[in-house]
Amino acid sequence: MKIVKPSFSILNNIDGDEVLKAIEAAGRTCYKSEATITSDSAIKFVNNILKRNHESVLEHQSVSVRIVCDRGVSHEIVRHRIASYSQESTRFCNYCKEKFEGHITLIHPSGLTEQQYKRREEHFWAVQRLYDEEINEGISPQIARGILPTALKTEIVVTMNLREWRHFFKLRAAGTAGKPHPQMLEITVPMLEAFKKLIAIVFDDITIDRGTL
């Protein structure tokens, strides 16, 4: 058994200026105002479309992110319909194999007491032993996975257009529809901060309610 922390990595090589220019080029098609494009007009254009809620233009640009989280958090992520997902499959992954170092990997929530942490680890070791027993008895991974906990670590590659990323962060980082799950915030808060640094303007207006942390 192994314990890891949640994490993420942005898979695209993002040039924020080029992203804004591409959005402007697409958007100005609507008005046939391409002749007004200058070296620094993209920022003003994108600002204006956001103020007018013309966010469909943002759909022409997308970002892919690899997220490491527990299965429970991943179940919330995939509720966002306008996206593409590729997720680690407990049906086909045999965690007794060498490439998984022969054990299951899990994620603990933050804020546990030492006693609570120890109690969970005892439970996870029992799960590991039972999983090993079932695999060694010839039970297939797709059946043995039934004993794996929600705390199981999973990797999921998520691709969304920028409009959907805005919606995702409003719900999952800013808490506009209720307080997000604490383990979701462990991923979404630093991810939103990274997006803000990479793609100026598009995410600047999404503020994190620190009261949700």
Residues acting as catalytic residues: 172
HSE, CB side, 13 Å, CA atoms: give it for residue 185: 15
Q: What are phi and psi of 176, to 5 degrees?
A: -70, -15
- CA dist list (Å): 205 to 106, 123, 153, 192, 195: 34, 43, 32, 11, 12
Beta strands in the chain (DSSP E): 2-4, 7-10, 62-70, 84-87, 105-107, 153-161
Could you tell me whether strands 105-107 and 84-87 are parallel, antiparallel, or unpaired per DSSP bridges? unpaired
d(CA 116, CA 180): 22
Give me the residue label for tokens 């809620």.
53
- Any bridge partners for residue 87, and if so which? 156
CA–CA distances in Å: residue 182 to residues 33, 38, 69, 117, 141: 45, 43, 12, 17, 30
In 3D space, the residue among 169, 131, 173, 179 whose CA is nearest the CA of residue 152 turns out to be: 131
- Give the type of residue at 24: E
